[in-house]
């Protein structure tokens, strides 16, 4: 039955349903999903009584349920510029994020709205509406900077909303971009090092939305695109005056940190006095022309936005986004600078521990269902173990992140093997009970004869042996597939050998010499059965070793596949960053900033060197991980082989009469 987690009473305006499929944490199935509804935004990040930023637990609970990849679109800009209305439209609604008509800032902190992505199947769109910049009532001068940094760190697409034109004034209002190197660190080490060149690897794409744009988009009399207009506005000015340097600095930072940037203009005025009406569906003040443009803007954002990824290409889900937000906000509130490397390390621990649990749930759930059919042949149990072990590893791989030492995968492997051994024991116990019940049923007539003393007569021993042989034949035909068949029969024959000796000594038909011969034959039969029992144990051990060998091969294949994918993402990340730097250098040369372009050449070479070193180090880490995994497998196999050799020696020592007949 479906489970629904409702954030608030459902509001439906006839557009798309805001139902997000999420995976239940306790479920063992990889495809078991249940929907969560979020029909209006909730506060995501707020300020506590001490004025410090804090993440709202209710928002984290929503994100925790979203197992899909997320596309995160955040909007920033001056307060009272209509950001919230645009976000409502991106959510497919007219109402939701708070709108206001006064000069006061309506949105406080960061608000969140999660909806199914309209164009990317299996993906959730997370909209973040941020508190407007420039509200004079704010007490903390760093508050706006912190909000902007969080929007950059959490989003995959950052929309900067402004009005009028992109001129020096508008660019200077985006001064927060110049403070990013002081507010965000990539690595925890080398505190004095400038790692801003690494920002392009994980910074979001950038969209400048210009509201109330009334100018003609022409440069030197020629029509230009919106993106060309943005590039023109961001072009560095020549000169050495302090004023020119002030204007150039934000432009350089925007070009450097946001190489993937686009522009969208709303080519008509949006009357401020009508902003209060924008939330009403039946308002005549919302022109159809404006709705058409905002619809076009939504399509523009959807097409340009990609899934949120961490550095090195790790895909972010709603659950991971919540962990990231908590880590970044706690760091900022403590007075420290958010560090991407530390956040990733913390994320890796959380996700890898959870990945082990998910893998175990997948394995244990399947084996518990199989247990209902016990006892089964060892082959059937081993085959199911292999399938579930592979599926569990797949579930682990899907969620694990930066398990560079392979310790978490090894932990999963060890726990699965421990569970497997437990299920084997349970299967053996079930088999033993069935075999004992079968022998009890088959030997009931013989036990009755013993009670009545029917074997206590001349020729009684031969009659007893004949009955015992018949029981053995029937048992072998009915229990030949049981894992404990030989062992239970061995124990049964040892028990009956006591009765056999008593009957043999009482049989007056036999001479003493004949009794000795029969006694020796019985010992041979018992020894032969013990040998058969040990050989069956040996066969089962070899089958288990073969199962482990095949499981390891599959595990190694999945490990290598994931490592190859991570290497591919690492290379793509470096290539994107390099392309952006080359583009930035080309723009500098094109606009005549040859000296800056030359300085960038050194930066590019250093960047190439670091990227190559990173790829080499990661390749070495992967090779070491595979080697450690193989070494661990070899140690396990050696231990099993040692047990095998010990059993073989025991069999050989007990087999002096290797040619005797079997009952």
Q: Domain residue spans in the chain?
A: 42-338, 428-654
Q: Looking at residue 281, what is its pLDDT?
A: 40
Nearest Cα to 83, choosing from 165, 135, 160, 172? 160
| CATH topology agreement for domains 42-338 and 428-654 | no
- Check whether 449 has a pLDDT greater than 90: yes
Q: Are 168 and 248 in contact (CB under 8 A)?
A: no
Interacting residues of 588 by C-beta distance below 8 A, sequence separation 6+: 236, 594, 596, 597, 600
Per-residue pLDDT at 453 exceeds 70: yes
Query: Considering Cα of 379, then 382, then 384, then 390, what sign does the dihedral take?
Result: negative
Query: What integer is the mean pLDDT of 560-583?
Result: 83
Cβ-based burial of 454 (10 A; exposed 0-12, middle 13-18, buried ≥19)? middle
pLDDT at 592: 82
User: pLDDT at position 464, please?
Assistant: 94
Residue carrying structure tokens 């682990």: 396
Can you tell me the mean pLDDT for 376-394?
95
What confidence tier does 299 reach under pLDDT thresholds 50, 70, 90?
very high
Could you tell me which residues are beta bridge partners of residue 5?
36
| Class of domain 42-338 as given by CATH | alpha beta
Q: Looking at per-residue confidence, does 426 or 562 come out higher? A: 426
Closest-CA residue to 376 (of 475, 483, 480, 478): 483
In this prediction, residues 106-110 reach a mean pLDDT of: 73
Mean pLDDT within 93-107: 60
77: its two tokens:
């800009």
Q: Output the pLDDT for position 19.
A: 56
| In the predicted structure, residue 2 carries a pLDDT above the cut 70 | no
pLDDT-based confidence at residue 659 (cuts at 50, 70, 90): very low
**CATH number of this structure's domain 428-654:** 1.20.1000.10
Q: And the tokens for 540?
A: 């089962």
CB atoms within 10 A of CB 4: 10
pLDDT band at 606 (very low <50, low <70, confident <90, very high): confident
Tens of pLDDT, residue by residue over 211-232, are 888 888 889 889 999 999 999 9
Q: Are 107 and 99 in contact (CB under 8 A)?
A: no
188, pLDDT greater than 90: no
Output the pLDDT for position 314.
84
Please compute the mean of the pLDDT values over residues 577-594 and round it to a whole number. Answer: 82
Cα→Cα distances 543→9, 351, 451, 552, Å: 58, 34, 43, 14
CA torsion through residues 479, 485, 488, 494, sign: positive
Residue pair 455/503 in contact (Cβ under 8 Å)? The answer is yes
Taking residues 319-332, what's their average pLDDT?
Answer: 94
- Average pLDDT of 334-352? 89
Can you name the residues that pair with 133 across neighbouring β-strands?
Answer: 78
């Amino acid at each position: 039955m479906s489970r629904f987690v409702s954030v608030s009473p459902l509001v439906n305006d006839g557009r798309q349903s805001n139902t997000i499929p999420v995976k239940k944490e306790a479920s063992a199935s990889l495809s078991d999903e249940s929907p969560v509804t979020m029909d209006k935004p909730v506060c995501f990040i707020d300020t506590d009584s001490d004025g410090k930023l804090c993440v709202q637990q209710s928002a984290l609970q929503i994100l925790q349920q979203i197992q899909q990849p997320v596309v995160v679109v955040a909007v920033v800009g001056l307060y009272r510029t209509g950001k919230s209305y645009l976000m409502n439209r991106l959510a497919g609604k007219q109402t939701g994020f708070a709108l206001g008509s006064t000069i006061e800032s309506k949105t406080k902190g960061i608000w969140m709205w999660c909806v199914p992505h309209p164009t990317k199947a299996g993906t959730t769109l997370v909209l973040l509406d941020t508190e407007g910049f420039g509200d004079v009532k704010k007490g903390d001068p760093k508050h706006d900077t912190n909000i902007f940094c969080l929007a950059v760190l959490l989003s995959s697409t950052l929309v900067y909303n402004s009005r009028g034109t992109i001129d020096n004034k508008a660019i200077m209002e985006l001064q927060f971009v110049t403070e990013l190197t002081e507010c965000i660190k990539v690595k925890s080490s080398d505190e004095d090092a400038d790692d801003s060149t690494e920002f392009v690897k994980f910074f979001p794409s950038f969209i400048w939305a210009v509201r109330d744009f009334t100018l003609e988009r022409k440069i030197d009399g020629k029509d230009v695109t919106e993106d060309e207009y943005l590039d023109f506005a961001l072009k560095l000015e020549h000169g050495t005056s302090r004023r020119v340097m002030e204007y150039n600095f934000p432009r350089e930072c925007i070009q450097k940190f946001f190489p993937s940037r686009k522009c969208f203009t709303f080519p008509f005025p949006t009357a401020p006095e009508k902003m209060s009406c924008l939330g009403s569906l039946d308002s005549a003040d919302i022109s159809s022309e404006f709705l058409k443009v905002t619809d076009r803007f939504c399509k523009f954002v959807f097409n340009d936005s990609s899934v949120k990824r961490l550095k090195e290409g790790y895909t972010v889900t709603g659950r991971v986004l919540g962990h990231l937000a908590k880590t970044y906000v706690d760091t900022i509130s403590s007075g420290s600078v958010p560090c991407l490397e530390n956040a990733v390390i913390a994320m890796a621990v959380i996700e890898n521990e959870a990945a082990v649990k998910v893998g175990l749930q997948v394995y244990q759930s399947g084996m518990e269902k199989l247990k209902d059919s016990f006892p089964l042949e060892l082959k059937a149990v081993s085959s199911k173990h292999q399938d579930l072990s592979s599926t569990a590893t797949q579930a682990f791989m899907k969620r694990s992140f930066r398990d560079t030492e392979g310790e978490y995968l090894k932990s999963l492997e060890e726990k699965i093997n421990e569970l497997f051994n437990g299920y084997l024991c349970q299967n053996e116990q079930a088999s033993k009970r069935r075999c004992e019940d079968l022998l009890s049923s088959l030997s009931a007539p013989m036990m009755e004869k013993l009670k009545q003393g029917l074997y206590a007569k001349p020729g009684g021993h031969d009659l007893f042996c004949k009955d015992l042989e018949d029981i053995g034949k029937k048992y072998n035909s009915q229990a030949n597939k049981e894992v404990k068949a030989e062992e239970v029969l061995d124990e049964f024959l040892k028990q009956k050998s006591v009765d056999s000796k008593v009957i043999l000594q009482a049989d007056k038909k036999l001479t003493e010499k004949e009794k000795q011969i029969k006694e020796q034959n019985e010992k041979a039969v018992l020894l032969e059965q013990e040998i058969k029992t040990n050989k069956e144990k040996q066969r089962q051990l070899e089958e288990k070793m073969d199962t482990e060998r095949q499981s390891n091969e599959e595990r190694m294949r999945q490990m290598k596949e994931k490592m190859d994918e991570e290497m591919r993402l690492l290379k793509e990340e470096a290539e994107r960053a390099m392309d952006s730097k080359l583009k930035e250098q080309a723009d500098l040369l094109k606009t005549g900033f040859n000296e800056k372009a030359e300085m960038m050449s050194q930066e590019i070479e250093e960047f190439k060197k670091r990227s190559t070193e990173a790829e080499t180090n990661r390749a070495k880490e992967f090779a070491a991980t595979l080697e450690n995994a193989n070494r661990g497998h070899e140690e396990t196999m050696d231990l099993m082989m040692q047990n095998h050799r010990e059993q073989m020696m025991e069999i050989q020592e007990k087999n002096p009469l290797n040619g005797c007949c079997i009952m």
